[in-house]
Amino acid sequence: MARPKKVRIPSEEFFHPGHYACQGCGAPIVGRYLLKALGKKTIIVIPACCWSVIQGPYPYSTLKVNVIHTAFETAASTAAGIRASLEMQKKNDVNVVALAGDGGTFDIGLQALSGAAERNDDIIYVCYDNEAYMNTGIQRSSSTPLGAWTTTTPGTHYKDRPKKDIIQIMAAHRIPYAATGNVAYPEDLYVKFKKATTMRGLRFFHILSPCPPGWRSSSEDSIKIARYATWSKMHPLYEVYDGEKYVVRKPEKEIPVNDYFSLQKRFAHLTEREVDTIQQMVDERWESLLRLAS
Amino acid sequence: MRKVLMANHAVSIGVKLSRVSVVAAYPITPQSQVVELISEMCADGEIDAKFLKVESEHSAMACCIGAALGGSRVFTATSSQGLLLMHEMLHWAAGSRVPIVMTNVNRSVSPPWSIWTDQTDSLSQRDTGWIQLYCESNQEVLDSIIQAYWIAEKVNLPFMVVFDGFYLSHTNEAVDIPEQSDVDRFLRKFRPKFKIDVKKPHAFNSIVYPDAYMEFRHMIKESMDTVPAVVNKCGAEFGKKFGRVYGTLEEYRNEDAEISLITSSTVTSTARIVIDEYRKKGIKAGLIKLRLFNPFPREDILNAIRGKRKVGVIDRNYSPGNGGVFAQTLRANIIGNGDIPEIYPFIVGLGGRDVHLGVLNEAIDIMASNKKIKAGEEIWLDLKK
């Protein structure tokens, strides 16, 4: 697929300066471009995750829209309840968005998300994925990639299972739209968020979002690392319509996974052979993705 | 209009009359018929409500919280394990200050598996910040749903209307169904105090530091403290409109009683007969039916037990290591109020075992004898040897 046309991203901000994210965190970028695309008629539901801190403590708020904080596993169901309420009041021009981390999406929140997807509740669900429970101190989640160090998968016992394929799971629900995104590609993100507003039903985003403390990387490298994730096909950019139609965006440059790994210390313990095994898996997954898109 | 209804359907009709607009629920025995009828009424357009058929009780409560913050009057129903699964969100609802009304049909908790009634499920949610009210009859169930919205929306706290599984849920009684127009005049349109409004953005339930958390909890306390008076006011106004007066409790032949029983739910009906029999025998027995359990109506109950020699508490529930929850809560609330009667805590009818006349006779006989009760001790009645 060709690179998208030049996108003009609005200068209006719905995001106050002075948020509570760590330096180099990808998560604020997700929220910022999300709201640039969705505008002020948006309600954000935040379960327990880094964003529940980034959003700011009472009486402050980082976002200029309504925010509802809810329990870890209830982003989708709380959002569904809000939507039902708005529907009964005939307020149908409001975006109801769940903004959750990988733990609240891939793990503890999966039941509620699957329920909302099966019912095709009219919400936008955005998962910013930093590949572990970062808010509680870098414990592995089912989104942690194979081979990665976390505080519950130490280097000597690194994560020995591959990352859960959340998009395939969501696509299997036959929802109207599921897409991956990456904070290193804001235009792509913006276009996809905008596209989501033209649809109804459950729209799902899986966005890679670097975490310098958790990935043991330099804050200033975050965007570079995120871009390398797509270049190395660790995090390919693609869309799935109605669970069937795959549209894959080929990276503008291809690099081995080791280039991506070398910028982060969480993969530092891996031997050359282990890296080769991961490379092989990534290549196979990419091939199967291309087959789905063809 | 009078109609023969099971309590489960009395709830559904109460929900309809209360003009609820969002329902989110998951089925569980013995509650299922509550939401089945609501879902039918939604499908037929008899209720103008959206029914979210969620995948768990935990999600049901999360949906209700979202919908209530969105500005809708909401309802859900559950029982036993379902209520326990909701536990986290019950705290969340109270902390969010949303006036959700829920019915819990009492069912014992497992294991061993049991679908029959006892109150351990709802009473183990005592500390979640929900108002809890226990009903004796199908009429009271219907009337209490309407009153629950009236009260909850005044104090911005969630409200649980509780009654016995099978003893009421599946039992048919004649119920007077109020006119919709009368209910509309009694229960005004929902005007939420806290509501999402895209024109006025707010952050709800944000993180707070230790310098603010206590004050939020204290605001709940201040509202909770007003609840007994609001329940009495609501029950009196309901009485003026519909002819059936309600309060935090109801006294039966209690004024001159020396020995009183405190009951809740359907055991009360059996106790009325027992009290009559003992009165015939010349024993001054009386009955206090406790309707409001949380917050505990301290003043009302103190007035009702003052001057009694002995008070027996009938607990159809059991907190392992602590005994009956009504009895413990009563003791905790009356200590330090001068002369208080001797309290006899009885455990009865767990897991749906019938609480027949003989069980309550035994309770009164024990109190009438000179048996002393140690602090923390409870008496299990009708226990097989």
Q: What is the pLDDT of residues A195-216, one digit of tens each?
A: 999 999 999 999 999 999 999 9
Residue A156's pLDDT is what? 87
Percent of chain A with pLDDT over 70: 98
Distance CA B257, CA A169 (A): 66
What residues in B contact A52, CB-CB < 8 Å?
Answer: 207
Tell me how far CA of residue A32 lies from CA of A57, B238, B309, in angstroms.
18, 51, 69
Asked whether the beta carbons of B254 and B248 are under 8 A apart, the reply is no
Percent of chain B with pLDDT over 70: 100
Number of H helices, E strands in chain B: 12, 16
Burial class from Cβ neighbours inside 10 Å (0-12, 13-18, 19+) for residue A139 reads middle
Average per-residue pLDDT for chain A: 96
Give the pLDDT band of residue B205 (cuts 50, 70, 90).
Answer: very high
Residue A3's pLDDT is what? 57
Tokens describing residue A17: 């300066």
Residue B323's pLDDT is what? 95
Q: What is the mean pLDDT of residues A87-111?
A: 97
For the stretch B328-351, pLDDT in tens is: 999 999 999 888 899 999 999 999
Q: What is the mean pLDDT of residues B32-36?
A: 97
Which contacts qualify for A2-7: CB closer than 8 Å, 24 or more apart? A3/A252, A4/A187, A4/A188, A4/A191, A6/A187, A7/A187, A7/A190, A7/A191
What residues in A contact B207, CB-CB < 8 Å?
Answer: 52-53, 55-58, 69
Q: Which of A58, A91, A125 to mutate to test the interface with B (most CBs of B within 10 A)?
A: A58
Residue B338's pLDDT is what? 85
What residues in A contact B205, CB-CB < 8 Å?
Answer: 68-70
Instruction: Report the DSSP beta bridge partners of residue A35.
Output: none
Residue B272's pLDDT is what? 98
What residues in B contact A82, CB-CB < 8 Å?
Answer: 66-67, 69-70, 196
Instruction: Report the DSSP beta bridge partners of residue B22.
Output: B50, B74
Q: Say whether B227 sits in a helix, a strand or coil.
A: helix
Put simply, the answer to whether B69 touches A82 (Cβ < 8 Å) is yes
| pLDDT reading at A1 higher than 70 | no
Q: What is the pTM of this model?
A: 0.97
For the stretch A4-21, pLDDT in tens is: 568 999 999 999 988 999
Put simply, the answer to whether B54 touches A80 (Cβ < 8 Å) is yes
- In this complex, which of B49, B196, B208 lies closest to A66 when CB atoms are compared? B196
Average per-residue pLDDT for chain B: 97
Put simply, the answer to whether B59 touches A57 (Cβ < 8 Å) is no
Closest-CA distance of chain A to residue B181, Å: 21
The identity of residue B41, as a single letter, is M
| pLDDT reading at A2 higher than 80 | no
